[in-house]
Amino acid sequence: MRWDRALTVLAEHRGCTVIAGIVVLLDQISKDVAATLLSGSRPFSFGPLSLHLTQNEGAALGVWAALPEGLRLPLIVALSLLTLLVILPFVSSHLRPGAGREVALGLIVSGALGNLIDRLWHGHVVDFISLSPVIDHLSPVFNVADLALLCGTGLTLFNLRRGALGADAAAIAPIFGGPP
């Protein structure tokens, strides 16, 4: 892709770019603070949340953690890049332009980038938030990037369900329970 085309795409998705930049920054700062304050400490609980530092060697919720590192890291990085470079542009082209699309895509991009940065920099993802053990002792540990991915995916599905589709994608709406 030529640089002028890349800049045009960023300009067309200015809202997505701004949201992604802010959330990636918040994600990386929160991970650095967690690594500094929670390293070697006992979990800290407040209300429904618990904070404790973990290193996620696998993908979401520790999937693939048992794979050899020589296979696991390239596989997860490849899937992250596939999401960013193939799946998101496809989804974006099928959603009607607007704030809902920009917010959803910005959250998904920031979540994927935040965790990809961790994998490339540390070889694992830094997780530190979970539900309090009083509420759920089996709660997965997550981070700001994971929350962004979850919220962005939920917003995308909501947009599909309510019919915020471009004309060429209206045929897939019934699959998601949206109007035909």
In the chain, domain spans: 13-40+49-172
Beta bridge partners, 7, equal none
Indicate which residues carry an active-site annotation: 127, 146
Of 14, 30, 174, the closest CA to residue 109 belongs to 14
Q: Provide the token pair at 165.
A: 């589709």
Query: Quick one: pLDDT at residue 80?
Result: 86
Query: Quick one: pLDDT at residue 35?
Result: 93
**pLDDT tens for each residue of the chain, 180 residues long:** 455 655 666 667 788 889 999 999 999 999 999 999 998 888 888 888 889 899 988 776 667 777 887 888 888 888 888 888 887 788 777 777 888 888 999 999 999 999 999 989 998 899 999 987 766 667 788 999 999 999 999 998 888 777 655 544 445 445 545 555
Model pTM score: 0.79
User: Using CB atoms within 10 A of its CB, is residue 107 exposed (0-12), middle (13-18) or buried (19+)?
Assistant: buried
* d(C-alpha 85, C-alpha 75), whole Å: 15
